[in-house]
Amino acid sequence: MLAIVAFHIVMLALGLAVGTRVVPPQVVGGLVGYLHKTIGITMPAMEQVRLVAVIWIASVVVMVDGSLFLLLFISKMSSGMSRP
């Protein structure tokens, strides 16, 4: 439980740092560029890099939360099915 809370705090802080321009644009652009090259998609324009970075951060949070919810749901369903 503590790890989930820590993950959300770190991701929120990272999103706020990128969104409020605390992190320099060169750093954000470089990281988003590496991510896009790894996946094989087009790099956004430099004016859109911050928005794209925040969208990526939010997407990671949604995917992790969805995966944890699915894991919890499956474990609850499988434990409920074993009862007579």
The fraction of the chain above a pLDDT of 70, given in percent, is 95
Number of domains in the chain: 1
Own/partner pairs, 44-52, CB within 8 angstroms, 24+ separation = 49/25, 50/18, 50/19, 50/21, 50/25
pLDDT of 79: 83
What is the tally of helices (H) and strands (E) in the chain?
3, 0
The CA distances from residue 59 to 15, 82, 84, in Å, are: 11, 35, 40
**Residue among 15, 18, 14 nearest 26 (CA):** 18
pLDDT of 78: 87
Inform me whether the pLDDT recorded for 13 exceeds 90: yes
**Structural domain that includes position 11:** 2-81
Residues 43-71: what's their mean pLDDT? Answer: 95
pLDDT of 25: 86
Residues 62-68: what's their mean pLDDT? Answer: 97
